[in-house]
Structure 1
Amino acid sequence: MRETVGQLGDRTGAELTRYQVELRTGPHICLREADEQIRDARRTLADSADRLGLRIASTGTPVQAPTGPVLFTPGARYAQSVAHYRALDDEQVVCACHIHVGMPDPRAAVQVSNHLRPWLPVLTALTANSPFWTGRDTGYASWRTTSWGRWPVAGPPPYLESAAHLDELVQTLIRAEALIDRAGLYWDIRPSHHLPTLEVRVADAALTPDDSILLAAVVRALAATALTAIQAGEPAPRPVPELLRAACWRAARDGLSGRGIDLSTGRLVAQRTLAERLLRYVAPALERHGDLGLVRSHWRRLRTVGTGADRQRAAYQRRSSTNDLIDYIIAVTCPP
């Protein structure tokens, strides 16, 4: 899609397989401007795809299986990944939504990561959009999360003592050949290896632009709340790693419609209760950013129509047709 590259420039790029395309926004302070850019980029990409007889669909996993062998994007690094990780790459036709938040320095990025770790299950539940995998309903709200967890360095990051601790750990993982390089650090949160940001990578590709903006608003508010806590000398919570991992699994399985694990007690509670706890926690930061009304509106929408996973299942159940489901995803990926 060369004309798309010309129009969007560095806001679009290739991914591991030829079935995928990455869209990026520029840095934004105003989320309404970010929303406009997301919608414009999706429309531009959809128009370009249409001229080639193709369509774009924003979902965490493919609804139907690719026909024939997986088509990998040419390039030395992708070839190295396929040779190193083997069948893992064959099944990584998955798409995520990553949010970058500017950080003052590497030390702050590590500290904010520690403060955000306990909220990863709730973010997974809020953004679940991958219930189907190659022609069947997996029973999970976010199958991408579960599939992605098979990588050697993925899932919730460890508690990091310092920026030096992170660097030492990454170098050890590279020497152990669990990583090819720092770009292969696939934790749900990671300090970016090439930008002065903290990258939150926990979410499925968002079904609609509205879903993207809700995630961006909540992640920015979480980071701002964490920075305030750090400045006040408040330590980051340190949930039991095994319980955090279990909570992430539970959130990926049931999304917002089921129960989640309260990391402070180990008990099961309604996942919506945990989501509302998160929204109350970040409400002061949302208000400072002018996003409180926007987030409350989107939260009401989610409570009414469900997550992307819920909406995908509803579209499928109308006629038990994956073709109908794909048509639905295409339609809402790029709304008029």
Structure 2
Amino acid sequence: MEEEYLVVDPVTREVAPEAAAVVEAASGELGARVCTEITRFQVEAKTDPCAGIGDLEAQLRAMRAVVAEAARRQGLAVVASGTPVLGDAVPPPITDHPRYGVGIANYRSLHDEQSICAGHVHVHLPDRERAVLVSNHLRPWLPVLIALMANSPFWTGRDTGYAGWRTLTWGKWPVAGPPPYFASLAEYDELIAALTESGALVDPGTIFWDVRPSAHLPTLEVRVTDVPATAGESALLAAVIRALVVESLERVERGDPGPELSAERLRVAYWRAARDGLDGHGVDPLTGRLLPADDLLATLLGHIGPALEETGDLDLVTRRLARLRAGGTGAARQRAAYERRGRPEDVVDHLVEHLLDEADE
């Protein structure tokens, strides 16, 4: 799992362009598992491959602790939020790297709102063909994942009215959002070649679809959500996504090609999930019906229940989903922190304080 964090000044609470210093301080313990990102506000850290959710969560907690301590030693702090709560982030300071220079020349002002942070879950699959076919089965469930981990209601001092504003900003890119439906790996490769020729892609790393076969690992990468607010929620997300992949792979092996969803319905389902999170309604992309977000979440849990039994994660997921519903999403908790005194600074303090929340054991 990969997570992106924002570096903040603990006094002003604004985003601070000091990610390189934090990465250097953290690399003594994390090595290549911590790195800079496209803007100088962002730090990326990742776990090693894990066979169990318990191991993954332990690594996530340790990883977050190392990055937080590295920031503290620099007089800084880090937060897990999909968007910057405070600070002059448009346009952001870009990390000095040749690849980013090529991207800026190609994509131009699309980088202006790139100070956004996601959580990426990689799940091993036997080959790229099955990875592409599995992605077809994941598409209907992507809006529910967006709602579940919504954690970006604020943008540089303003409440956007959305639970997951990062989803809306990310959707502007030419190759982003939900992946298309693919009948085969050959069809996928053919489209990637055409997109590259058109200039829409600089390299395989700019395939920004929310589900994609990794360009350098034997995995399917699911990158649809905001960075979860806590390590426990990241572990929950990983357990849910792994179960979705297990269930989807079994369907692929049975010859099930997956549903060919309406792109318009899926786009609207994304929008509604990003707007409401779990505190309103969502659109079922299979039917187009507007349903309570709780109903869509219950349908997801029913869909992956057998796979969660198989992976041994059913109790953990059930318990943590109940906890999340009771305490609210990351977005809801950010807003609650703001509403106490009407100060966005309190939101940043809340995020710093809860970066290392303990598990619900």
Query: TM-score band, normalised by the shorter chain?
Result: over 0.9
Letter in 1 for 2:197: R
- 1:134 equivalent to 2:156? Answer yes
Following TM superposition, by how much is the alpha carbon of 1:263 offset from its aligned partner in structure 2, in angstroms? Answer: 2.5
Corresponding residue number in structure 2 for 1:150 = 172
Following TM superposition, by how much is the alpha carbon of 1:114 offset from its aligned partner in structure 2, in angstroms? Answer: 0.5
The question of whether the paired residues in 1 share the 8 Å contact of 2:136 and 2:257 is answered with no
Corresponding residue number in structure 1 for 2:332 = 310
The question of whether the paired residues in 1 share the 8 Å contact of 2:89 and 2:113 is answered with no
Corresponding residue number in structure 1 for 2:349 = 327
| SS at 1:101 equivalent | strand
- 1:197 equivalent to 2:219? Answer yes
Letter in 2 for 1:208: T
Following TM superposition, by how much is the alpha carbon of 1:129 offset from its aligned partner in structure 2, in angstroms? Answer: 0.4
Q: In 2, Cα distance between the equivalents of 1:176 and 1:67? A: 30
Q: Taking structure 1 as reference, are residues 221 and 68 closer, same or farther at Cα in structure 2, changes over 3 Å only?
A: closer
Q: Which runs of 5+ in 1 are unaligned?
A: none
The question of whether the paired residues in 1 share the 8 Å contact of 2:232 and 2:357 is answered with no
Match among 175, 182, 188 for residue 204 of structure 2: 182
Deviation by residue 1:257-298 (Cα, 9 ceiling, x = unmatched): 111112232211101100110011101111111111100111
Letter in 2 for 1:247: A
Q: In 1, Cα distance between the equivalents of 2:185 and 2:261? A: 20
Following TM superposition, by how much is the alpha carbon of 1:3 offset from its aligned partner in structure 2, in angstroms? Answer: 3.2
Root-mean-square deviation (Å): 1.2
| TM alignment of 1:52-131, pairs within 5 A | 52-66=74-88, 70-131=92-153
Q: Taking structure 1 as reference, are residues 262 and 75 closer, same or farther at Cα in structure 2, changes over 3 Å only?
A: same
| SS at 2:79 equivalent | coil
Q: In 2, Cα distance between the equivalents of 1:104 and 1:233? A: 16
Corresponding residue number in structure 1 for 2:58 = 36
Percent identity over paired residues? 51
Following TM superposition, by how much is the alpha carbon of 1:241 offset from its aligned partner in structure 2, in angstroms? Answer: 1.0
- 1:232 equivalent to 2:254? Answer yes
Q: In 1, Cα distance between the equivalents of 2:239 and 2:150? A: 17
| SS at 1:23 equivalent | strand
Following TM superposition, by how much is the alpha carbon of 1:68 offset from its aligned partner in structure 2, in angstroms? Answer: 8.3
Deviation by residue 1:220-275 (Cα, 9 ceiling, x = unmatched): 00000011111222230111111111111110111111111122322111011001
Following TM superposition, by how much is the alpha carbon of 1:69 offset from its aligned partner in structure 2, in angstroms? Answer: 5.6
Q: In 1, Cα distance between the equivalents of 2:89 and 2:130? A: 46
Q: Taking structure 1 as reference, are residues 61 and 235 closer, same or farther at Cα in structure 2, changes over 3 Å only?
A: same
| SS at 2:229 equivalent | coil
Alignment length, in residue pairs?
Answer: 336
Deviation by residue 1:139-197 (Cα, 9 ceiling, x = unmatched): 00100000000001111110011111111111111110011111100011011111110
Q: In 1, Cα distance between the equivalents of 2:100 and 2:134? A: 31
Q: In 1, Cα distance between the equivalents of 2:296 and 2:262? A: 18
Q: Taking structure 1 as reference, are residues 173 and 67 closer, same or farther at Cα in structure 2, changes over 3 Å only?
A: closer
Q: In 2, Cα distance between the equivalents of 1:20 and 1:300? A: 31
| TM alignment of 1:269-280, pairs within 5 A | 269-280=291-302
The question of whether the paired residues in 1 share the 8 Å contact of 2:140 and 2:286 is answered with no
| SS at 1:190 equivalent | strand
Q: Taking structure 1 as reference, are residues 321 and 111 closer, same or farther at Cα in structure 2, changes over 3 Å only?
A: same
Q: In 2, Cα distance between the equivalents of 1:236 and 1:190? A: 16
Q: In 1, Cα distance between the equivalents of 2:268 and 2:300? A: 18
Greater shift in the superposed pair: 165-174 or 94-103: 165-174
| SS at 2:278 equivalent | helix
Q: Taking structure 1 as reference, are residues 130 and 67 closer, same or farther at Cα in structure 2, changes over 3 Å only?
A: closer
| SS at 1:99 equivalent | strand
Q: Taking structure 1 as reference, are residues 182 and 317 closer, same or farther at Cα in structure 2, changes over 3 Å only?
A: same
Letter in 2 for 1:88: L
Q: In 2, Cα distance between the equivalents of 1:309 and 1:191? A: 29
How high is the TM-score relative to the length of structure 1? 0.98
| SS at 1:217 equivalent | helix
